[in-house]
Structure 1
């Protein structure tokens, strides 16, 4: 794999620039209607920090109003699903904790966030995908694999709710967008996805009581590790 030139930077400049490009700041917000919710409220409480809320708006084309989410659990629910699934099967689908669908019927920028504990067999896929040169890789957690329309962050959680405080269990936090905005810098989109999975993973690590917060920094600093080779 070809290694990208190291790049370390904060996210504020890219997210603000992307938000301006999609029109999600400035001017009056449209009437949300009686059943719509804001970007800050569309995901389960505590899942997204302020930077991640801005990232969600960028990835959904500057949307400010969203349909009320259905069939979505909160972080505590997801942690319980992961805990029970791991105890029974050694792996678990943690379910969807965010489903952001813009009210504008013309928009196709739907976004969702979910968690997963992969089985030992599936974890070989994590390593092989990392080496295929298809994703941008970032130095975060065990590894972070990102594209403009998706992101996956793998981190280790040693918790009494899983395998105990002395054994780390790899967890994946994932975000996907049905159609990423075409008029936004791809790098800004990638780093917006990274912002969301970082915030979501931190929230889950706190809920599960992962040792040392799953090794995730409190504040995200973007550090490219490798670029796609194809």
Structure 2
């Protein structure tokens, strides 16, 4: 018996080119998640021109929509998943951003009003309700969709953005509104992917309208 050893190196086998070592704000989230205003908002929160690590182990909008759909079918609630994580390449830059979605159980909705007016979040007229601070944002909207409970039953969806280490030299109001801008764009993208009736009643263009400031 003749035993042959075959090596593929140097034999004309093409290997895929390596991926980018860094990406920037326009490409750090999955395609279609952030509109141009949201890209600018991410740059405000992290620093313009900040290079990020290429995203890994983070699903795109279609993936997280599927997770929400399956979770709702099984449990009438779903933790969903992370659809964007912006991690700066420079380890000395602590300004990370994460965007996630979940479906709250319709009998609880525990967080929707729990922080309003309690000295932390500002409240905004967007979706069912929206809350934002310099470090976080929460957007609650209804999704009536064939992928969930059908076109005539609204299911409560929650979008979250969390910012680690927002810049201290930027007006806190601008930081709050940047978080809200990212939330609006991401939630609109998910609502379209899920087929939510009237896009979850989220406007195409964001109009920032405060409902209440936190009391202290």
Check whether TM > 0.5. Answer: yes
Say which SS state the counterpart of residue 120 (structure 1) adopts: coil
Which stretches of structure 1, 4 residues or more, deviate above 3 A after TM superposition?
Answer: none
1:120 aligns with 2:106: yes
Deviation at 1:63, TM superposition (A): 4.2
- 1:61, distance to aligned residue in structure 2 (A): 2.6
Aligned length: 198
Alpha-carbon separation, structure 1, partners of 2:110 and 2:79: 17
Is the 8 Å Cα contact of residues 82 and 101 (structure 2) preserved in structure 1?
A: yes
| Higher share of residues assigned helix | 1
Residue by residue over 1:151-189, the C-alpha shift from the partner in whole angstroms, topping out at 9 and shown as x without a partner, is: 010011100000100000110111001111101000000
Q: Deviations over 1:30-77 (max 9, x none)?
A: xxx950011111001100000000000111133431001121000000
Shift of 1:209: 0.3
Q: Which runs of 5+ in 1 are unaligned?
A: 1-32
Answering whether residue 208 of structure 2 is matched by residue 222 of structure 1, we say: yes
Say if 2:94 is the partner of 1:108: yes
Alignment of structure 1 residues 201-212 onto 2, 5 Å: 201-212=187-198
**Structure 2 residue aligned with 1:58:** 44
State the Cα distance separating 1:126 from its structure 2 match: 1.8
Secondary structure of the corresponding residue to residue 51 of structure 1: helix
Residue deviations 1:179-223 (CA, integer Å, cap 9, x gap):
111010000000000000000000000000000110000000110
Q: Which ranges in structure 2 are unaligned for 5 or more consecutive residues?
A: 1-18
Which protein is bigger by CA-based radius of gyration? 2
How far apart are the structure 1 equivalents of 2:168 and 2:129? 26
Structure 1 vs Structure 2 CA RMSD: 1.4
SS of equivalent to 1:225: strand
Measure the CA separation in 1 of the matches of 2:132 and 2:209.
12
Q: Measure the CA separation in 2 of the matches of 1:167 and 1:98.
A: 28
Q: Is 1:68 paired with 2:54? A: yes
Among candidates 79, 82, 89, match of residue 75 of structure 2: 89
Q: Identify the residue that residue 129 of structure 1 maps to in structure 2.
A: 115
The structure showing larger relative contact order (alpha-carbon pairs under 8 Å, at least 6 residues apart) is 1
Q: 1:34 to 1:216 in 2, by over 3 A?
A: closer
| Between 99-108 and 119-128, the greater mean CA deviation after superposition | 119-128
Per the TM alignment, residue 125 of structure 1 is displaced from its structure 2 partner at its CA by: 3.0
2:7 pairs with 1:35: no
Q: Deviations over 1:71-114 (max 9, x none)?
A: 10000000000000001011101110100011122100011100
CA-CA distance at 1:121 after TM superposition: 4.6
- 8 Å Cα contact 2:80/2:102 also seen in 1: yes
Q: TM-score, normalised by structure 1?
A: 0.83
